[in-house]
Amino acid sequence: MTSEDFLEGQILLIDKPLTWSSFQAVNKLKYILKRKYNLPKKFKIGHAGTLDPLATGLLIVCTGKFTKRITEIQAQAKEYTGTITVGATTPSYDLETEVDATFPSEHITSELIQETVKQFVGEIDQKPPVFSAIKKDGKRLYEHARAGEEVEISSRKTTIYEFEITKFDMPKIEFRVVCSKGTYIRSLAFDFGKALNSGAHLSALRRTKIGDFSVENGISPEEFEK
């Protein structure tokens, strides 16, 4: 590859490591490319859809003129695999924050889980987590949340195309989900726990696909550097 190739536009498939923010991953790539190819200061690079620091998997990074394709890529269906832990909730709906409440879970059977899954396939109403990057009153929701401010969050429509339970070993439920743009898997885990007459949070998440792009073809930022 030449500097021209990156300026003209490339789609880079990155397997984002755990604890990295999407912003960090893009910055790392930008630094590597600028250093190696002597690219201009205003070189364009961006990602097509944020992944939380506690999630791993596919992060699509576009360079140069291909940054114009970000919106189109972001609009495609996404596939995730992960783990929901039942019996406890956290304010962030994942492991970013400590458990704030526990719930009975002895009544949860694999039959109940399979029945409950059906409620979440198709178009559903979902409230984004309070710990998310959505803006409200000019501030990101997680900024309000960290400041201890109460914020009224309105629900939004999202579509779950497939929701499959791949393993059930209490208190952990492993799953695979295919969903539309704007779906929060953390909210899905939280709502799923409620629907089971218990509580739940997301304890692991990996994005495996965006449209036809698969994490199987992705590389880590370290491999990219090499």
Query: Residues with catalytic annotation?
Result: 52
Cα–Cα distance list, 86 to 56, 100, 108, 169 (Å)? 21, 13, 9, 10
How many Cα atoms sit within 13 Å of 61 on the Cβ side?
25
Contacts of 2 (CB under 8 A, 6+ apart): 37
Summary count for the chain: helices (H), strands (E) = 7, 13
Structural contact between residues 127 and 100, judged by C-beta atoms closer than 8 angstroms: no
